[in-house]
């Protein structure tokens, strides 16, 4: 029996920084308030959108605890604890559990490019290390390794591996995965331009970058689908396509942070090796945001 962590929209939160590079907890609070007012169903904190690779371990856990304490159980808090060092992922997962996280999100090991057997062994070791449910995150464009449907089937046999954040962009592969795993693994779209297509294949929602700036609307899109208004949901998916493309015209979360800064929620600060959005791309993004009433 599946342990569904959430249905609908989980926001892959950016991590706000000050001009000096510290985590900006005042801005973080504004962002979380905005998300809760928009009705999102879960928070994903300190994952790749949260620039986890450039967070020190202690500030990573401190940020997770901040979101847990702020949320006060209103929605699940899912902690990003993945790594290309399995032992480090185990350590961070244990610390996230102690900090009060409700679940884990673990990206595939990057750069090492392990085998499918290595994926099973690594994810199994992480899942065995805590009592928390875990989502596996497949984003081969950034990690260099793709989880295959048969591997998902093996992972779904573990009682605490309960879902997939799928961002491989391959609908045919998703169809095969769900034909093998729909009874054991929940499917979440990891691409904002494929929310409704993946929900049509049995998905239960999205882990979204778009919802950082449009929480209410992203939630409405999934609600329409769940209520049977597939056409209305699809129309929203198409309506926001240009904005979604603009949010990914440079590597995530550079555009998302630029957008939130234009909205006055956070400062436009990223950590190297990321740099602020290029001016031409920024102007295109803001022009699209103006059409949605998000920027002046």
pLDDT of residue 74: 97
Q: What is the chain's pLDDT, residue by residue, as a tens digit (296 residues)?
A: 578 999 999 999 999 999 999 999 999 999 999 999 999 999 999 999 999 999 999 999 999 999 999 999 999 999 999 999 999 999 999 999 999 999 999 999 999 999 999 999 999 999 999 999 999 999 999 999 999 999 999 999 999 999 999 999 999 999 999 999 999 999 999 999 999 999 999 999 999 999 999 999 999 999 999 999 999 999 999 999 999 999 999 999 999 999 999 999 999 999 999 999 999 999 999 999 999 999 76
Q: Is residue 244 in some structural domain? A: no
Q: 132: domain range? A: 8-226
pLDDT of residue 222: 98
Q: Is residue 289 in some structural domain? A: no
* Beta-strand pair 205-208/186-189: parallel
State pTM to two decimals: 0.97
The CATH code of the domain that includes 126 is 3.20.20.70
Q: Is residue 279 in some structural domain? A: no
Q: Based on C-alpha coordinates, what's the Rg of the chain?
A: 18
Number of domains comprising the chain: 1
- Residues marked active site are found at 137, 165
Q: Is residue 250 in some structural domain? A: no
Q: Is residue 287 in some structural domain? A: no
Q: Is residue 239 in some structural domain? A: no
Asked if residue 288 lies in contact with residue 249, where contact means CB atoms within 8 angstroms, the answer is no
Q: Is residue 261 in some structural domain? A: no
- Give the whole-angstrom CA distance, residue 113 versus residue 115: 7
Q: Is residue 117 in some structural domain? A: yes
């Amino acid at each position: 029996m599946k342990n569904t962590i959430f249905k609908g929209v989980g926001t892959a939160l950016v991590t706000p920084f000050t001009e000096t590079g510290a985590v900006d907890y005042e801005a973080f609070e504004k962002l979380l308030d905005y998300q809760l007012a928009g009705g999102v169903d879960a928070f994903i904190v300190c994952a790749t959108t949260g620039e986890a690779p450039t967070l020190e371990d202690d500030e990573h856990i401190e940020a997770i605890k901040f979101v847990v304490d702020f949320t006060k159980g209103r929605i699940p808090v899912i902690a990003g604890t993945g790594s290309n060092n399995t032992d480090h992922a185990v350590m961070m997962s244990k610390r996230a559990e102690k900090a009060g996280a409700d679940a884990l999100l673990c990206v595939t090991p990057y750069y090492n490019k392990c085998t499918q057997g290595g994926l099973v062994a690594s994810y199994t070791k992480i899942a065995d290390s805590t009592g928390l449910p875990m989502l596996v995150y497949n984003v081969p464009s950034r990690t260099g390794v793709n989880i295959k449907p048969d591997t998902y089937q093996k992972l779904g046999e573990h009682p605490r591996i309960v879902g997939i954040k799928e961002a491989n962009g391959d609908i045919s592969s998703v169809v095969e995965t769900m034909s093998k795993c729909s009874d054991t693994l929940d499917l979440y779209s990891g691409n904002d331009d494929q929310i409704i297509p993946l929900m049509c294949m049995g998905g239960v929602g999205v882990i979204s970058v778009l919802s950082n700036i449009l929480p209410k609307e992203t939630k409405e899109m999934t609600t329409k689908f769940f209520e049977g208004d597939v056409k209305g949901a699809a129309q929203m998916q198409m309506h926001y396509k240009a904005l979604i493309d603009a949010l990914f015209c440079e590597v995530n979360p550079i555009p998302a942070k630029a957008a939130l800064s234009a909205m006055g929620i956070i400062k436009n600060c990223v950590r190297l090796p990321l740099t602020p959005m290029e001016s031409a791309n920024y102007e295109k993004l803001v022009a699209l945001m103006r059409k949605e009433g998000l920027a002046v």
